[in-house]
Each structure stands twice: as C-alpha cells, then as structure tokens.
C-alpha cells in the first residue's frame, strides 16, 4: 500500500472498530492523508474487504502474519448502536493512553451506558457525522463521504480537552464541519431531522408493496425522492429508533396530529373552510422546507432549474456536463430521470438564477434540447 506524506492533524495510529460503511469511509479518508489505520470487525470477511478497498490494515491479517501492532492514539468505534457502549468501555480499558470516540447515530444512551460501566470518561467523546448512505458495508464506503457535511461533537461533562481536540481533528481532516452539541439536544434534534424522515420514507414505501407494477411504472421523481432512504438497513434502524424512542415519539405525535387534521378535512372536502385548511397544511410544508439550509450549510438558496432532454446513449450526459463547465456555469445540483419506454433521459440542472438565461441560450445554440 503506498503511503502519501501526511497532512493530517489527526495523530495515528487510528484503530477503527467496525469496518462497515462508516468505519471504512473514515479509514479511506485517513489513509488518503497518510494516517496509519488498523481495522477491526467482528466479521473477518468485512475486515478483509475493508483492507482490500484501501481503508487500512486488517488487524486479524496483521496478527496472523506475526506483526506487532502499535498502540493506537485514537480508537474510533463505528459499530452498530447496540454494541457501541460496550466496545467503547473495552477500548478505554485495553488502550489506556488512547482517546476513544464513537460515531453512533444516538448519543445520550451511549454516554449513559459508558458512565454506568465506570469507565474513564475523560478520554471518551461521543460524535456523530451527519453523513451516510442508504447502503451498508465497506463496499459502499467513500473517503469523501464527510466532505462539507456536519459532524456533531457531543461531549459529556467529564470529557477532557484532548478528547474533544482529537474528535475535532478527525472531523476536520475528513473535510467535515464541526458542530458541538450536548448529547440530549443532539438526540432530540436528530429525531426530527434524521429519524423522522427515515420513518416517513419507510412508511410511505411500505404502501407500495402490493401495488401492481404497471401502476408503479408511472412514478415520477417525487416518489423516488421521498422513498430513497426507505432502502436503508432495517438492522441498523431498529437499533437507532429503539435507542432514541422518546424523542422520535414526540415527532410522531406531532405528525399524527397533522394527519388526523388532514383526514378529518378530507372526509368532508366540501365543508366550509376545508379547502383553506388543505392549503394551510401545504403552505406549512412550504415554510418548513424553505428553512432547510442550502449546500454546505449556507442560507437556504433558491436555485433556478433547467431540464435538458438527452439521448439515452453512452457519453451524452458527460458531454452535457462538460459543456456546462465550458460555458462557465457552476452546477449546484443535478437529477437524472428516465421516461418509461422513452429512449431519452431528462437531466434537471440547478444553477445560480443569474446564470440561468445565459445557460439556456448557450445550450440551445450548441444544439441541446432544453425542454423546461
């Protein structure tokens, strides 16, 4: 494995326990900076795959080859929530000079369990990168997963400054933006902005199980957008939801109140005020959505969109993107749709509103079919 000179703030070696999607992504990012990474996973195959993709050195393979592994300066526990606290406690005992952090999606229950075990809390810090995928395992790992994404550091009262600094260095090395938040505030926040979306997406997608395929073939981007994360790993989510049950329940009760309101209104759609109530509900959704920050955590930005019909042949989309670059317009976002049964793809590009008209004109001059 070639090692590039390190430019990382993180001090290695880093022991990553759990080398699935998140653990292997952290390993890849650190290896890219030249930091020494050792991978441990309860699954020998997962550990070997993570090593094969370049996320670090398999602890099993190294020990089997008779290597003596150096003591880690940092241990990152990236295993499923159910086992995180016990792995943190064990790591604090086994590596008495290391900082130990975890990246589980819930924070207060992990801290409570580590405290209850009587472990050295000064060297432990809970963290949560707000980046992931609806896939699991090291094959889906990406070293750039954390680039420009928030990474919450959630210290307890006893967490020492060195532990917080190590967590900050790791997040910054991997390109993330650090936010410090108290564990219970973190859990209440993610219940609304991460766990509720997962539940709503899964409930919606579950309605589709018995829908005839020729009905589903009519589905547009709306259904795809709102069900993407319904593809997530049930094994992981049962642990996350069970660990954060009360804050998730608070959000679900609020959704239930809105649903009951909508159901009552639709039961008598001709009643006085019914249409106004429906419009209010939709407008409340508009208002909530408008508050979601834009890319890189900036202020919400309304980008202008244009849709280009592209022949469904190899290289067309790459050519379109290259030409948008040549025209000098920054692509803020892009979506690709296929019309069922049509030999064209529809590329919807989001750009700065001030560049929209120029781009449409220039693309049309170059022969592209701008349809919206």
Ligand X SMILES: NC(=O)C1=CN([C@@H]2O[C@H](COP(=O)(O)OP(=O)(O)OC[C@H]3O[C@@H](n4cnc5c(N)ncnc54)[C@H](O)[C@@H]3O)[C@@H](O)[C@H]2O)C=CC1
Ligand Y SMILES: O=C(O)C(=O)Cc1ccc(O)cc1
- CB–CB of 17/23 below 8 Å? yes
Q: Cβ 46 to ligand X, closest distance in Å?
A: 4
Q: Which of residues 65-84 bind ligand Y (CB under 6 A)?
A: none
Give the shortest CB-103-to-ligand X separation in angstroms. 5
Supply the minimum distance, in Å, between the C-beta of residue 134 and ligand Y.
Answer: 5
Q: CA–CA distance from 126 to each of 30, 106, 113, 149, 321 (Å)?
A: 19, 9, 12, 17, 40
C-beta separation of 102 from 110 below 8 A:
yes
| Binding to ligand Y, residues 7-46 (CB under 6 A) | none
Looking at beta carbons only, is 125 or 363 nearer to ligand X? 125
Determine the Cα–Cα distance for residues 77 and 167; give it in Å rounded to an integer: 12
From first CA to last CA, the distance across the chain in angstroms is 49
The number of angstroms, rounded, from the C-alpha of 181 to the middle of its chain's C-alpha atoms is 18
Interaction partner, residue 194 (ligand Y, ligand X, none; CB < 5-8 Å by kind)? ligand Y
* Closer CB to ligand Y, 21 or 30, in the complex: 21
User: Where does this chain bind ligand X (CB under 6 A)?
Assistant: 17-23, 40-43, 46, 78-81, 83-84, 87, 103-105, 129, 132-133, 136-137, 236, 240
Q: Which of residues 213-232 bind ligand Y (CB under 6 A)?
A: 229
Tell me whether residue 20 or residue 183 sits nearer to ligand X (CB atom).
20
Asked whether position 127 contacts ligand Y by CB under 6 A, the answer is no
| Distance of alpha carbon 360 from alpha carbon 116, whole angstroms | 62
Using alpha carbons, select from 186, 115, 176 the residue that is nearest to residue 150. 176
Kindly state whether residue 132 participates in binding ligand Y, applying the rule CB under 6 A: yes
CA 342 from chain centre, in angstroms, equals: 33
**Which residues contact ligand Y by CB under 6 A?**
105, 130, 132-134, 194, 229
């Amino acid at each position: 494995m070639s090692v590039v000179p390190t430019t990382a703030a993180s001090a290695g070696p880093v022991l990553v326990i759990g080398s699935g999607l998140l653990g292997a992504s952290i390993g890849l990012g650190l290896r890219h900076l030249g930091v020494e990474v050792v991978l441990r996973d309860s699954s020998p195959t997962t550990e070997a795959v993570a090593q094969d993709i370049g996320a670090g050195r398999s602890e099993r393979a190294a020990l089997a080859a008779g290597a003596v592994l150096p003591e880690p300066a940092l241990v990152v526990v990236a295993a499923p929530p159910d086992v995180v606290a016990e792995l943190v406690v064990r790591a604090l005992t086994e590596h008495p000079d290391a900082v130990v952090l975890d990246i589980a999606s819930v924070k207060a229950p992990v801290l409570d369990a580590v405290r209850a075990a009587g472990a050295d809390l000064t060297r432990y810090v809970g963290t949560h990168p707000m980046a992931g995928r609806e896939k699991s395992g090291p094959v889906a790992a990406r070293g750039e997963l954390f680039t420009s994404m928030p990474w919450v550091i959630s210290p307890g009262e006893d967490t020492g400054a060195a532990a917080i600094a190590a967590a900050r260095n790791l997040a910054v090395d991997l390109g993330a933006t650090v936010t410090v938040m108290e564990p219970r505030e973190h859990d209440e926040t993610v219940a609304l902005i991460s766990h509720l979306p997962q539940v709503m997406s899964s409930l919606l997608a579950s309605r589709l199980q018995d829908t005839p395929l020729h009905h589903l073939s009519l589905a547009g981007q709306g259904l795809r957008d709102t069900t993407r994360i319904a593809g997530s790993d049930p094994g992981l989510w049962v642990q996350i939801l069970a660990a954060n049950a009360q804050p998730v329940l608070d959000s679900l009760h609020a959704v239930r109140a809105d649903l009951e309101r909508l159901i009552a209104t639709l039961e008598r759609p001709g009643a006085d005020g019914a249409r106004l109530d429906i419009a209010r509900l939709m407008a409340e959704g508009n208002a909530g959505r408008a508050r979601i920050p834009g890319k890189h955590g900036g202020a919400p930005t309304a980008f202008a969109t244009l849709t280009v019909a592209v022949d469904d042949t190899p290289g067309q989309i790459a050519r379109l993107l290259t030409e948008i670059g040549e025209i000098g317009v920054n692509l803020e976002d892009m979506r690709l749709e296929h019309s069922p049964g049509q030999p064209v793809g529809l590329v919807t590009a989001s750009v700065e509103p001030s560049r929209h008209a120029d781009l449409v004109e220039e693309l049309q001059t170059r022969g592209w079919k701008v349809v919206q």
